[in-house]
Chain A
Amino acid sequence: MDDVTTTQVAFPMPRTCPLDPPSGYAELAADSPITRVTLPTGKSAWLIMGHTYLREILMDPRVSVNRIDPGYPHLVSLTPEALAMMSKVNDSLVGLDPPQHTVHRRMLMNEFTVNRFRALRPRIEEIVNGCIDAMLAGDRPVDLVAALSLPVPSLVISELLGVRAEDHELFQQCTLTAFNRKALLEDRIGAGVNLLMYCDKLVTEKEEQPDDDMLGRLVVKYREAGLYDHSHLVGLAMLLLMAGHETTANMISLGTLALLEHPDQLALLKTDPSVTPKAVEELLRYLSIVDISGGSRVALEDIEIGGVTIRRGEGLIALLSGANRDPSLFDQPDVMNLERGARQHVAFGYGIHQCIGQNLARLELEVVFGTLFRRIPELRLAVPAQELPLKDDASIYGVLEMPVTW
C-alpha cells in the first residue's frame, strides 16, 4: 500500500516573488482544486482552490473557525502557553461560530460602518501627512516599514480603540514580535503576554470611565445587553489591535513595492488620483497577503464538495489567493491592472467572518497611496527588490524592512 504522506503536497509553498503567490499553486488549482496537503506540523489538511469552491465551503454552516479544535489546520505546533493565549482571542470573535459569533459580531458592526470611516478620513490624512513630514525631514534612505507602514495603522487603531498616545510604541513592538514567525517562539509568546496585560489594564480603565471611544462604547453596550465579561473584552481589544496593525502595515509596504515595480501602473495613479480606490482593490486582490488563515476551517460534519468528502474533524484551507488569481473570475489574473475595478476578490475573506475592519483598511490604504506618491513622486527603492527581507513564511505576507529614497 502506498504511503499516503509521500504523495501529498507540502503546504504552504514558499513565495518566490514577494508580489505573487507561490507558482506551484496555479498548477495545483488546475490539476486538483481540492487536494490533501501536508502542513509543517506533519498533519494533513484539505487545500481548496478556486473561487467557486471557496465560496461554497466558506458559506457552509458545517465548517468551524474554532482554532482550539484539534483538527484546525494550524501551520505551527502550538505550545500549551500559545494555545492558552490563542483561546483568549479565539473566544472573542474570530474563533466563534454561530450563534455566539452572531451575538458578538453584532456588538461591533455599527463601529465599522462605511459612513463612520468616511467621517474619519480627515484625521487619517493628518496621521499619514505627519508620517510623511517626518520622512521628508529626516535622512535618506528611510525604512518605509518603520516610517509609514507600521505607524499609520498603529496610530489609527489605537486612537479608535482609545489607547493612550504614550503607549503606541509598546503596541507596535509587541504586535510586530508576536506576528513575526521568524522571531523566537518564546519572544512571540512574551510579546503576546505583554499585549494581553496592557489590554487588561486598558479595559479596566474603560470600565471605571467608559470614554467615547470604541472600547468605552463597547463596555457600555455589553453591560446594557447583560453580556459584559471583562476577560472577553480584553480578548476582543487584543484581537482588534492585532488585526488592525499587521495586515494594513503589510499592505502598505507590499502595495508600495508592487507600484514601484510596475512603473506604468504607478504613472496611472500619479496622473489620475481618482484611480486610487480601484487601485486599492486591485492591490488587495493581487497581493492576497492573508492568504491562508483567512480561509482556514475545520469540518464539523462530513461535507461533500467537488467530488471529495471532507470528513468531520478534518482541517481545510480555502486559499484566498487561489480565488483571487482564479482565471474564471478575473481576466489575466496574474496581471496587476489598477483600472480593473474588480471588488469580487476575497482578500478580506468570504462568508460571515469576512473582515469587519475592511472599510477602515480601504480608507487607510487609499489615503496612504494617494498621499505618498503625490508628496514624494520620485519615491524609489534604495536597494534592489530581490534584497528585501521578506516575511515569506508568515501568516501574513510582507516585508520586514524596505529602504526607500527619492
Chain B
Amino acid sequence: MRLSADRERCVGAGQCVLTEDTVFGQDETDGRVRLRTETPDAELAENLRFAVTICPAQALELTED
C-alpha cells in the first residue's frame, strides 16, 4: 500500500489527522499535510481510504497492492 499527499492542493482542514494521526500530521510552520509514512500498514487501509474520501481538497492518493 502506497500513500501520497499533494501538498500543493492541501487546504489544512486537518480531516486526515483526525482520521489517522499515526499516519498524517500537519507541518507546524505551514499547516499543510505531512505523511509520517508513505507505506502504511495494511491494517490501516479502511481508515486511509476514508481519509482519502473526505479530504476536502482531494489531495490524498492511496494505491493498494
A105-B54 contact in complex given A114-B18, A343-B19, C-beta closer than 8 Å: no
**B14-57 to A contact mask, C-beta < 8 Å, 1/0:** 11011101000111111110000000000000000010011011
Selected from B11, B12, B53, the residue in CB contact (under 8 A) with A113 is: B12
A106-B31 contact in complex given A114-B18, A343-B19, A358-B14, C-beta closer than 8 Å: yes
What's the Cα separation between A359 and B16 when bound, in Å? 12
Contact A352 B18 (CB under 8 A): no
Is A349 an interface residue, CB under 8 A from the partner? yes
Contact B54 A344 (CB under 8 A): yes
Contact A109 B19 (CB under 8 A): no
A114-B14 contact in complex given A106-B31, A109-B31, A109-B32, C-beta closer than 8 Å: yes
Contact A106 B56 (CB under 8 A): no
- Which chain A residue shows the least CB distance to B57? A352
Contact A106 B54 (CB under 8 A): no
Selected from A106, A343, A344, A352, the residue in CB contact (under 8 A) with B30 is: A106
A359-B19 contact in complex given A109-B32, A112-B31, A349-B56, C-beta closer than 8 Å: no
- Residues in B with CB closer than 8 Å to A358 are 13-14
Q: How many residues of A contact B (CB 8 A)?
A: 24
A109-B18 contact in complex given A59-B58, A344-B53, A352-B56, C-beta closer than 8 Å: no
Q: Which residues from 327 to 347 on chain A have a C-beta closer than 8 Å to any C-beta of chain B?
A: 343-344
Contact B54 A110 (CB under 8 A): no
What's the Cα separation between A108 and B13 when bound, in Å? 11
Contact A356 B12 (CB under 8 A): yes
Contact B14 A351 (CB under 8 A): no
Contact B53 A114 (CB under 8 A): no
What's the Cα separation between A280 and B40 when bound, in Å? 29
Per DSSP, chain B at the interface is loop
- Residues in B with CB closer than 8 Å to A354 are 11, 13, 56-57
Contact A359 B18 (CB under 8 A): yes
- Residues in A with CB closer than 8 Å to B57 are 351-352, 354
What's the Cα separation between A110 and B21 when bound, in Å? 16
Nearest Cβ in chain B — how far from A286, in angstroms? 17
Contact A114 B54 (CB under 8 A): no
Interface centre among B15, B21, B29 (most CB of A within 10 A): B15
Per DSSP, chain A at the interface is loop
A111-B56 contact in complex given A343-B15, A343-B19, C-beta closer than 8 Å: no
Nearest Cβ in chain A — how far from B7, in angstroms? 10
A109-B11 contact in complex given A59-B58, A114-B21, A343-B19, C-beta closer than 8 Å: yes
Contact B28 A113 (CB under 8 A): yes
**A102-121 to B contact mask, C-beta < 8 Å, 1/0:** 00011011111111000000
Nearest Cβ in chain B — how far from A280, in angstroms? 11
Is A350 an interface residue, CB under 8 A from the partner? yes
- Residues in B with CB closer than 8 Å to A108 are 12, 31
Contact B56 A110 (CB under 8 A): no
Selected from B18, B26, B28, the residue in CB contact (under 8 A) with A343 is: B18
Contact A350 B28 (CB under 8 A): no
Nearest Cβ in chain A — how far from B6, in angstroms? 13
- Residues in A with CB closer than 8 Å to B32 are 106, 109
Please name 11 further chain A to chain B contacts, defined as beta carbons within 8 Å, in addition to the given A105-B12, A110-B27, sorted by A numbering.
A106-B12, A106-B31, A113-B12, A114-B14, A114-B18, A114-B21, A115-B26, A343-B15, A343-B19, A351-B57, A359-B18
Point out residues on B near A: beta carbons under 8 Å.
11-15, 17-19, 21, 25-32, 50, 53-54, 56-58
* Complex A-B: 9 CB contacts under 8 Å: A108-B31, A110-B28, A110-B29, A114-B18, A115-B28, A349-B56, A354-B56, A356-B11, A359-B18
10 cross-chain pairs, A with B, having the tightest CB-CB distances, nearest first: A109-B31, A109-B12, A110-B31, A354-B56, A113-B26, A114-B14, A114-B17, A354-B13, A352-B11, A359-B14
